[in-house]
C-alpha cells in the first residue's frame, strides 16, 4: 500500500524532508527566551523528532508531545529511546482543540499544526490560558496556500472526475502575521510575529509531489479510491513539474511560513 492510500498520517513520508521541515521549528525556538521551564508541551508533535530537541534544550523540564494521529504517536514512542538521555519525554494522543494540561505550561509550542484546525484564531485565547504567568506560547504555520502546489491541487480536485470524493476534504488554512499579532496583543501578551519564505532546493523525481503528499495534499489523496487516485496523482505530478521545473541544481520550492512568539505577563 502506497503512502497516499492511508487515511492516517504516514511518518515515513512526512520525514522525507525532515531537515527542511525542521528548520522553521528551530527558527521559532530561537526566539523563545525561557531559561528553566518545568513543563514544555509540543502540540501536534508528529513523529516526535523535533520534540526531542525541546528536551535537549531544557533537559530538566518535563516534555510532552501531543498528536491526534495514532501513527505519528506510535512512531514517536517507538523512537523515544533515543531521547531518554536528554530529559523526561513522553508522547500522548490528543486533539489539539480539546487537549488540556494537568498544570500550567511554561512553554507551549505548536509547529505546523494550526493550519489544520478550522477557526484556530478562536482557539488562541483558550490556549494562552493554559500558559503559566511569564510563560511562552510559540507557533508556526505554513503561509503558502496560494502557491501553485495548493492552487493546482484544489483546481484538479474540483474536476468532475474527482469532486465526488474530494469536495469535503480538509484544507489547510492560515492567516497573515498582522492577524495573529492583533489577536495575541488583544490578549495582553508581549508579541513577536514575523514571516519567512524559505527556498528549498529539492532533489530526485517529482520532489514537490513527494513534499505535498506528506502534508497538504494528504487528505485529498487519501479520499480518492485506489484506481482514481493513480490517475489524479499522474495528472497532479505533471502540473507540478510544469509549475516547478527541474533546474541545473534541482527543483526550487519557495515556502512561506508565519511565526508567532508571545509571552504572558508575569
For the chain, the structural domain boundaries read 3-263
Q: What is the pLDDT of residue 234?
A: 97
CATH architecture of the domain formed by 3-263: 3-Layer(aba) Sandwich (3.40)
Tens of pLDDT, residue by residue over 218-263, are 899 999 999 999 999 999 999 999 999 999 999 999 999 999 999 9
Q: What are the residues whose beta carbons fall under 8 Å from the beta carbon of 30, sequence distance 6 or more?
A: none
Segments in the chain below pLDDT 70: 1-16, 80-87
Residues 6+ apart with CB under 8 A from 2: none
pLDDT at position 86, please? 59
> Cβ distance 87 to 147 under 8 Å?
no
Q: Note whether 88 and 64 are within 8 A (CB).
A: no
Enumerate the H helices of the chain as residue ranges.
11-14, 18-29, 51-57, 70-78, 120-129, 148-157, 160-166, 177-186, 207-213, 218-223, 226-243
The reported pLDDT for the residue numbered 117 is 93
* Whole-number Å distance between alpha carbons of 24 and 21: 7
Amino acid at each position: 500500500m502506497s503512502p497516499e492510500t492511508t487515511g492516517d498520517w504516514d511518518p515515513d513520508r512526512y520525514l522525507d524532508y525532515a531537515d527542511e521541515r525542521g528548520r522553521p521549528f528551530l527558527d521559532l525556538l530561537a526566539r523563545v527566551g525561557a531559561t528553566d521551564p518545568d513543563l514544555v508541551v509540543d502540540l501536534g508533535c508528529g513523529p516526535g523528532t523535533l520534540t526531542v530537541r525541546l528536551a535537549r534544550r531544557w533537559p530538566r523540564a518535563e516534555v510532552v508531545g501531543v498528536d491526534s494521529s495514532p501513527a505519528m504517536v506510535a512512531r514517536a514512542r517507538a523512537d523515544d529511546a533515543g531521547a531518554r538521555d536528554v530529559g523526561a519525554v513522553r508522547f500522548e494522543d490528543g486533539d489539539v482543540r480539546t487537549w488540556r494540561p494537568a498544570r500550567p505550561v511554561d512553554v507551549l509550542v505548536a509547529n505546523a499544526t494550526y493550519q489544520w484546525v478550522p477557526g484556530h484564531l478562536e482557539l488562541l485565547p483558550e490556549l494562552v490560558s493554559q500558559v503559566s504567568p511569564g510563560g511562552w506560547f510559540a507557533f508556526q504555520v505554513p503561509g503558502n496556500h496560494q502557491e501553485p502546489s495548493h492552487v493546482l491541487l484544489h483546481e484538479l480536485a474540483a474536476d468532475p472526475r474527482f469532486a465526488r470524493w474530494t469536495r469535503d476534504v480538509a484544507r489547510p488554512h492560515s492567516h497573515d502575521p498582522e492577524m495573529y499579532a492583533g489577536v495575541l496583543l488583544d490578549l495582553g501578551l508581549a508579541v513577536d510575529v514575523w514571516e519567512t519564505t524559505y527556498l528549498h532546493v529539492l532533489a530526485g523525481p517529482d520532489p514537490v509531489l513527494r513534499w505535498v503528499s506528506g502534508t497538504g495534499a494528504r487528505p485529498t489523496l487519501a479520499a480518492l479510491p485506489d484506481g482514481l487516485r493513480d490517475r489524479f496523482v499522474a495528472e497532479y505530478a505533471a502540473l507540478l513539474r510544469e509549475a516547478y521545473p527541474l533546474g541545473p541544481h534541482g527543483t526550487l520550492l519557495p515556502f512561506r511560513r508565519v511565526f508567532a512568539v508571545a509571552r504572558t505577563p508575569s
